[in-house]
Amino acid sequence: MVLRKRINWLLGLGMAVAAANTTSAQTPPDDTATPPGFGPTSATVERIMETAVHNIAARYNLNELQRISTNDLMKREVRQFLRDHEAEVWPAIRSMLQTQFGLVKPEDVEEVKRVGAATRPLAKLAKEAIFRANEEWRQILNEEQKKVHDFDMTEMRRTFTEIDTNLASWEEGNPKDNGFFPIPSGQAGPPRPPQPRIPEKPDYRGREIPVGILAIYVEEFIKDYNLNEGQITACRSILVEFQERANTFKNAKKEEFAKVVKGLDDAKRARDTAGIRRATLAHKKALEPFYAIFSEMQERLKGQLTTAQLQKFADRNKPRERDRTTKGRKTAGEKKGQTPKPKVDKPKPVAGDPKAKPAPAPKKD
């Protein structure tokens, strides 16, 4: 769950929370009346998280399953970060606002040191949370999306290193002129990856049973097989039937699934490797009836296809055979920069030629 400016976004999230909750200028919000993280500013927090997920989904070209998982992970991590580090967040937010993110230096050197001392620990905590979340988020990406993620993580490491250097200069009382955040590198990075198809056997890691993927799968199915009007009508009728079944299952298992998700959250928060493994298996098991509904719908959809449509789709998606010849491969000498010697075909020996090898003597009985 990363963008190249994710640290700016995370700190900006805290700034927006503080700006929206103006009554909390001197003290952290009171969480006794409402659940932590869901006070008067929750609407602002939700809007910022929605924007962040939208931007991430666009950059990585996420499919719907990936977008749902990203949204779930984003909300879980941000809310937990604000809960766990409230004491560090609020002083740092006030300092950032007062100095316009390090662009306005206080005249008092002691005040400069105080700002650096209040803000630098938050950046370190944010770095730990962001990199930990990215290790988990990376698991839902395909290979093309991971190339973008590799680039973004390299940029993120550079960003955090420069942020720490800038904040250290404030902590020492000799702040730099470029503010807290570094100038973006300007590197273009990898191209936007193609959107992955929703697989027939999804590996879903979200917090709710993903009934919405049924409709998305049907629309992809219609396009993939170029269905006619009669087939489209039949497939959408099948969708309605299976949406009703899926929603019935979702409503019946809502509380049970919420307990499974909470167990997984608790294990991740405790960094309990064995607990995470058990909770992940429980999560998959809880979704098995939904996957069975999904699989049955797929079979009903395929029953609407003609032999010609199946063959056309198979031909279009047939993997290319690998070229097993050595054509185009470099020799060991070429890899070292040496010019290869031209290959000369040796002439075949002619009978009567003195240089020709004698024929082998026949075997005796």
The stretch 266-290 carries a mean pLDDT of 90
CA atoms in the 13 A half-sphere facing the CB of 62: 23
Residue type, 42: S
Residue 141: how many other CB atoms lie within 10 Å = 18
pLDDT band at residue 252 using 50, 70 and 90 as cut-offs: very high
CB atoms within 10 A of CB 187: 9
Higher pLDDT, 359 or 180: 180
Which of the four pLDDT bands, split at 50, 70 and 90, describes residue 345?
low
pLDDT of the residue at 122: 85
From residue 286, alpha-carbon distances to 139, 247, 278 in Å are 20, 15, 12
| Tokens encoding 214 | 């049924």
pLDDT top residue among 246 and 112: 246
Residue 291 in this model has a pLDDT that exceeds 90: yes
| Residue 364 confidence (pLDDT) | 53
Residue pair 223/198 in contact by the 8 Å Cβ criterion: no
Average pLDDT value for the chain? 78
Q: How far apart are CA 231 and CA 306, in angstroms?
A: 10
Two tokens at 186? 């300007």
Least confident of 4-18, 63-77, 250-264, 323-337: 4-18
pLDDT for 17-71, tens place per residue? 333 332 333 333 333 333 444 333 556 678 888 888 999 999 999 998 899 889 8
Amino acid 332: pLDDT: 52
Residues recorded for the chain: 365
Q: Looking at the predicted structure, is the pLDDT value of residue 15 above 50?
A: no
Q: 177, 96, 83, 81: which is closest to 130 by C-alpha?
A: 81
Secondary structure (DSSP) of 220-268: HHHHHHT--HHHHHHHHHHHHHHHHHHHHHHHHTHHHHHHHHHHHHHHH
Strongest mean pLDDT among 200-214, 267-281, 323-337: 267-281
List CB contacts of 39: < 8 A, sequence separation 6 or more: 21, 29, 30, 31, 33
Residue 201 has pLDDT above 70, yes or no: yes
Helices (H), the chain: 6-20, 42-60, 64-84, 86-98, 109-137, 143-171, 213-225, 229-252, 254-269, 273-302, 307-316, 332-335
The pTM score is 0.66
Q: What is the pLDDT of residue 56?
A: 92
Q: How far, rounded to the nearest angstrom, does the alpha carbon of residue 203 sit from its chain's CA centroid?
A: 14
Q: What is the pLDDT of residue 349?
A: 54
Give the Cα separation of 365 and 363 in Å (integer): 6
